[in-house]
Every structure is written in structure tokens, then in C-alpha cells.
Structure 1
Amino acid sequence: MSAMRPARGSVFLVEDEVMIRMMVADMLEELGFAVAAEAGDIDEAIRLAETAYFDFAILDVNVNGKIISPVAEVIEMRKRPFIFATGYGLSGLPEQFRNRPSLQKPFQLDTLGRTIDAALRSTPA
């Protein structure tokens, strides 16, 4: 069978904890998405946010002690939807992005799926 575009699209995943990143990647694949790019630090994430092809992104809010805002700004300029993943609640989100969808860590597969669906529905075409 030849490689095909995933049924539901591709994801850019930013998470500094390798085990969490692997777990989320597995969850995304189970939901029918392909991970197009992954980053574990802010500099790599900015570079990939500027150059990689992806349909939407999931961004850890705190990456090795650095806030994710510069990466979110690049993705916003590219007009791609994104979801924050945080263990800090709404108050941990960058202020200018508090209207964006977020996932409270740890999250389950069904919560991830619902949040993605809502984020993709609310994004202007």
C-alpha cells in the first residue's frame, strides 16, 4: 500500500518531555492524524513552525522553562490552528492567547479528540 495523506490531517507537536511527546503522538495517530513535525525546545519549534507543513499544532505552554508565545505567534501568522497543552490551567496560558483552545495535562484520548475537533471547527477557512 502506498503512503497516503492521513485521513484527518497532520500535526506539529511541541513538548519538551520525550515520554509525554511519544504518548501524545500515539494518541494523535489513534485519532487518525499524522505527526508531521516534533520539537522539544523553543528554537527548534520556531524553526519548524516557520518551515514545516502541518494542518494544526499542539503546543506545550512551558518548554524547558521558556514560554511558547514566539512559536504560537509564528503559527498564528501562518493562519494555522493550535491548541495549548498545560499543567498550569488557564492562568498559565500566555495572556494574548487565552482565547485559544487548551488541554489540561494530563488529558485522555477522548478529551484530545474533542478539543481538536472544536479547534478545527472554529478556525476560519
Structure 2
Amino acid sequence: MVSATATGMDVLVVEDEYFLASDLSALLEEEGFSVIGPLGNMVGAFKAIADELPDVALLDINLHGEMCYPLMDELIARSVPIVVITGYDGHALPQRFESCVRVAKPYGRADILSAIDAAVAGANCRS
């Protein structure tokens, strides 16, 4: 099932676990998305968005102990929809990110596609 939003969309994938990043990227490509990344650290992610602004970003919160809140703030400031992919519950996020679309690990294909659709449709983080 191809997501209604997939055609021509660039998706930034920021995930520090190699196999999760690889599987998520493959899933997105199978659905017709163009993947930026996957990237496993903040430096790479900031470099990527300086070169090309994605249509939507899928972000793991904790990248080898570094929280990706500055990246989230930057993406929100640039009006990029965000999907938070995390093992943390919603209360672990700072209050400014409570409205972000979240997908809990472990997730399935339908979870990811629904979350992308929701984020792109406007159910998104606000600063």
C-alpha cells in the first residue's frame, strides 16, 4: 500500500541503530519516498538539512546519548513536519514537543505510513 503522500516526497531519516535505520529506509523506498540518510548523529543531520530541506523528518530522539531536540527545534522553525520514532513515552519529551506525531518502537509499516500522513496533513509539532 503506497501512502497518499509518498510520491516525490523527500524523507529525512535520523536513527542511530543501524538495522532499524536500514529497515526504515528500505520500507520508505518501497513505498515511493526518497530517503535522505539515514543519519545516525546530529552533525550529519544538520549538514543534511543545510543541503536539502526534507518534506518530512523521521527522528529517533536519543542518538547515542545525545537528544535531538536542537534538530527538532530547527525543523519546526523551518516548517518541516516531524514524526518522532522512540521507545520513550510521550511524557519523556519536553512540553514543546508534546504535539509531535509519535510512533512507538517497535513499529510496523502501517504505523510509519499513518504517522507520516498525519504529520504532513498538519498534526505536527509547534514551537
Assess same fold via TM > 0.5: yes
Secondary structure of the residue aligned to 1:48 is helix
Secondary structure of the residue aligned to 2:25 is helix
Deviation per CA, 1:54-78: give whole Å up to 9, x if none: 1110010111111110101111121
CA pair 107-49 structure 1, distance change in 2 beyond 3 A: same
* CA–CA separation in structure 2 for the residues paired with 1:123 and 1:102: 10
* CA–CA separation in structure 2 for the residues paired with 1:109 and 1:30: 11
* CA–CA separation in structure 1 for the residues paired with 2:98 and 2:123: 15
What's the offset of the Cα at 1:39? 1.4
* CA–CA separation in structure 1 for the residues paired with 2:44 and 2:97: 21
Could you say which residue in structure 2 is the equivalent of 1:86? Answer: 86
Aligned counterparts, 1:36-55, within 5 A: 36-55=36-55
Could you say which residue in structure 2 is the equivalent of 1:64? Answer: 64
* CA–CA separation in structure 2 for the residues paired with 1:86 and 1:94: 14
Correspondence 1:10 to 2:10 = yes
Aligned residues of 2:13 and 2:38 also touching (Cα < 8 A) = yes
Q: What TM-score do the two structures reach when normalised by structure 1?
A: 0.86
Matching residue's letter, 1:79: S
Greater mean alpha carbon deviation, residues 15-24 or residues 29-38: 29-38
Aligned residues of 2:22 and 2:38 also touching (Cα < 8 A) = no
After TM superposition, the runs of 4+ consecutive aligned structure 1 residues lying more than 6 A away are none
Could you say which residue in structure 2 is the equivalent of 1:109? Answer: 109
Matching residue's letter, 1:111: D
* CA–CA separation in structure 2 for the residues paired with 1:91 and 1:123: 18
What's the offset of the Cα at 1:95? 2.5
* CA–CA separation in structure 1 for the residues paired with 2:52 and 2:7: 19
Q: Which has the higher contact order (CA 8 A, sep 6+)?
A: 2
Q: Please report the RMSD computed on the Cα atoms of aligned residues, expressed in angstroms.
A: 1.7
* CA–CA separation in structure 1 for the residues paired with 2:92 and 2:123: 23
User: Structure 2: which 5+ runs fail to align?
Assistant: 1-5
* CA–CA separation in structure 1 for the residues paired with 2:61 and 2:95: 12
Could you say which residue in structure 2 is the equivalent of 1:73? Answer: 73
Secondary structure of the residue aligned to 2:36 is strand
